[in-house]
Amino acid sequence: MATLLYEPYFEPEALANVKFYRYSAVDKSLIYNHVLRHWADLAVKVFPMWVAPNVITLSGFGFIALNIVALSLYAPDLFGPGPSWLYLSFAVGLFLYQTFDNVDGKQARRTGTSSALGHIFDHTIDSLNCSLGGLIQVVSLSVGARPLSIFLTLVGCAAMWFSTWEEYHTGTLYLGYFNGPTEGVLIACAIHVISAVFGPQIWLRPLQSFGLLKWVSPTFTLQDVVVFMALFSLVAIHIPECILNVYKKRREASQAFLPTLSQHAPFFTFLFLACSWPLSPSSRILSVHDPDVLGGLIEYTLLLTFSFGKLGPRIILARLTRSPFPWFNYGAFAPLAIGVVYVNGVRYVPGFEYNESTERFILHSALLFSAFAFLHWAFHLIRGFTSTLNIGCFTIRPNNRMVNGNGRAVGPNGIVLQHLKAKNSVDYHA
């Protein structure tokens, strides 16, 4: 157990490096810079000065959690249709999550409490939202429990992984003119609103290609269009852009680029395990379960949420502690691997028969262990950062608010908070 949960980046010599924290981000989104930035400037004034930025971050995630509870109660088959207010609540919850995600950084700067803890706390919450946000899309698009649902729950994880990998090597979180946190979220909100107005079955309406698209069938659906847009944005735009930025940075530093590509092995292992369990012919995760019994894709998505919840943020943790790139984490992989071995092993082990109750027990156990492993990691992360930086996580201590000799707000380490100078740059919860 100790080996599964051990985190070398929490050693004192590693945590000592978070005192040298610097944060840089560039957001070129026109919508953010001309609309959402000003909306966040207004929204932050609602929060009193004593509210800690991490409280805002966690509260924003609470809206997503409420959405998951609502879909579990009113659309447990993930197909629907559910009541119209359900899909509208998805749009409101996601928009509030985005707003709180933009406000927490502004609250950190106005209270003088920016820190490395806020940086990784924000990234961790975003990582948790990747799979959950995908599951909500599954409901609004009326996908149901199908292999396509697995893709939708993992596409956000892929985007997050490559962005954090890019940030590890470049030192800057780069968001282009069209990016997930801004345009991607707004498109998702629009999908939820359309489902609320016209019903989720609108996405199943057939369309005619009229022979214009030779590589697709004569008919396709609006659902196919949305999925294609998500796949195209990820594979043709986001991933190549991340790789190109890392390549340029490595070349500028006269460092080899090709070895960095092997660092994606942990994530592709995660993808392999995440797909191999539910897509196995022996698995019943994608089959219709009794709605009154927790199980199936909803519970499996929670398992993926906790597994990826520290797989991605560990990259940021490695960067903040100036440590080597993180490779495999047994606590993230072990719960998934047990299920994969069971559902696929029954086909090759003589005399070994599949039992749905056994798979469900493994799923329950894997979820509990994965949740415990994540919470154990998060607890020690918060304890390590707060003790090293002498700050609070969910409270603002008087000694955390600082002003230097020039009257500029600085963090608990004496770091000037307003340090981004690039054109179109944006401060996040850092």
Q: What is the mean pLDDT of residues 40-44?
A: 94
Which among 88, 82, 43, 58 has a CA at the least distance from the CA of 378?
A: 58
> Which backbone phi and psi does 332 adopt, to 5 degrees?
-85, -30
pLDDT tens digits along 260-276: 999 999 999 999 999 99
d(CA 392, CA 389): 9
Share of the chain above pLDDT 70, in %: 87
Whether residue 430 has pLDDT greater than 70: no
E-assigned strand segments in 149-238: 173-175, 206-208, 219-221
First and final CA of the chain: distance in angstroms?
33
Residue 117, both tokens: 């803890």
Check residue 347 and give its pLDDT: 73
Cβ atoms of residues 157 and 165 within 8 Å = no
pLDDT tens digits along 23-34: 788 888 899 999
d(CA 259, CA 257): 6
Check residue 2 and give its pLDDT: 58
d(CA 168, CA 26): 15
**pLDDT band, very low/low/confident/very high, at 80 (cuts 50, 70, 90):** confident
In the block, which residue shows the tokens 């004569």?
Answer: 218
Q: What is the mean pLDDT of residues 87-115?
A: 94
Least confident among 76-85, 213-222, 256-265, 392-401: 213-222
Alpha carbon 108 to its chain's center? 21
Radius of gyration of the chain (CA): 22
Q: Which helix (H) or strand (E) holds 270?
A: helix 265-276
Provide the angle, in degrees to the nearest 10, between the axes of the packed helices 330-345 and 265-276.
Answer: 40
Residue 219, both tokens: 């008919």
Whether residue 302 has pLDDT greater than 70: yes
Check residue 1 and give its pLDDT: 58
The one-character DSSP state at 398 is G
What distances in angstroms separate CA 274 from CA 172, 297, 338, 384, one per listed residue?
29, 12, 11, 30
pLDDT tens digits along 204-223: 988 765 455 555 555 788 89
The one-character DSSP state at 424 is T
Sign (positive or negative) of CA dihedral 103, 104, 110, 115: negative
The per-residue DSSP string of 43-59 comes to HGGGS-TTS-HHHHHHH
Higher pLDDT, 427 or 344: 344
- pTM for the structure as a whole: 0.88
Whether residue 233 has pLDDT greater than 90: yes
